Amino acid sequence: MRELRVAGHRLEAVHHPPPDPCGPTIVFLHEGLGSAGQWKDFPKRLALRTELKETGGRISAFQAELSKSTEETLRLFRPGQVVVDLGAAPGAWSQYLRRRFAPAGAAAGGLDGRIIALDLLEFEPIEGVEVLQGDFREDAVLQALEARLAGRPVDVVVSDMAPNLSGIESSDAARIAHLVELAVEFALRHLRPEGALVCKTFHGSGYSQQVKLFKDSFRIVKPIKPKASRDKSAETFLVGLGPKPR
């Protein structure tokens, strides 16, 4: 392995063998990853980067591995389901689900299922995904979303909502907790008895109270933090399975 230094950064030239012995050798320049365990995961990271290109770059490495980890571990998503995607922009979850619900994982064409995406921000349309633009905290927006459902129960609620952070710990913790509480409240009202909520949150002040809220609200609770997320990142997801009767 060769080492280069550019502007003070250590770069390593990695020869990644191709699947086809007759194919070309691929060389990547990487900022030093450090541990052998990280190099062991390199083929998986390469596959994730390939997926990002194929999906138009909406999905971060974290989100790509999160959706795969959620699916492999819990098997939440199946064709024919109704899924609500809260905090949907730029469309990572909706795009992943659109492929899950389409024959042969197609990005266009028929869709066996229903995806309703909501966000305050506008984002590029995804074929077959119903998009609502507005602030989920406002009653009028929530009512518009519930009108789309027309009383039909939801199989999975995905909440990727996150507030604009101020850097003031107590204030940010309260904003995060508020969005988690709104997602839980919506899920408890609209999920099927066997439904699930996948909800973004952050480790830090108030996290233990959010875990307690999930345990009080769902029969099974699982935290998920994919390997693609750096150890120092506070971002994580809580998954609640089977809402408890209210």
Provide the pLDDT for residue 2.
42
Coil, helix or strand at residue 220: strand
Separation of alpha carbons 187 and 224, rounded Å: 18
Q: If pLDDT is split at 50, 70 and 90, which confidence band does 60 have?
A: low
DSSP letter at 99 equals: H
How large is the average pLDDT for residues 128-135?
94
Q: If pLDDT is split at 50, 70 and 90, which confidence band does 110 have?
A: confident
223 prior amide bond cis, ω within 30: no
Separation of alpha carbons 149 and 116, rounded Å: 9
Using a 10 angstrom Cβ sphere, with 0-12 exposed, 13-18 middle and 19 or more buried, the burial of residue 155 is buried
Provide the pLDDT for residue 224.
86
How large is the average pLDDT for residues 164-170?
85
**68 flagged as catalytic:** no
- pLDDT per residue over 17-53, tens digit each? 444 444 443 333 333 344 444 434 444 444 434 444 4
Separation of alpha carbons 187 and 159, rounded Å: 10
Catalytic member of 44, 200, 215, 222: 200
10 Ramachandran zone, left/alpha/beta (phi>0; psi -120 to 50): beta
Query: Is the pTM higher than 0.95?
Result: no
